[in-house]
Amino acid sequence: MSPVELFGTTFQNPILLAAGTAGFGRELDHVIDLDLLGGIVTKAVTPEPRQGHPALRVAEFRGGMLNAVGLANPGVEAVAEHELPWLAERLHRARIIVNVAGARVGDYVNVIERLTPFDVITAFEINASCPNTSAGGLEFGADPGCLAELVRACRQVSTRALTVKLSPVLPDIPAMALVARDEGAEAVTLVNTMPGLLDKRLGNGNGGLSGPALLPIGVLATRRVRERVDMPVIGVGGARSPTRASISPRARLWWRSGQRRSRIRVSRYASRAS
| 17 touches 255 (CB < 8 A) | yes
For residue 202, cis peptide bond before it (omega within 30 degrees of 0) = no
Q: Is 145 exposed, middle or buried (0-12, 13-18, 19+ CB in 10 A)?
A: exposed
Residue type, 65: M
Active-site positions read 130
User: Would the CA dihedral through 34, 35, 39, 44 be positive or negative?
Assistant: positive
146-184 burial by CB neighbour count: b if 16+ within 10 A, else e? Answer: bbbbbbebbbeebebbbbbbbbbbbeebbebbbbbbebe
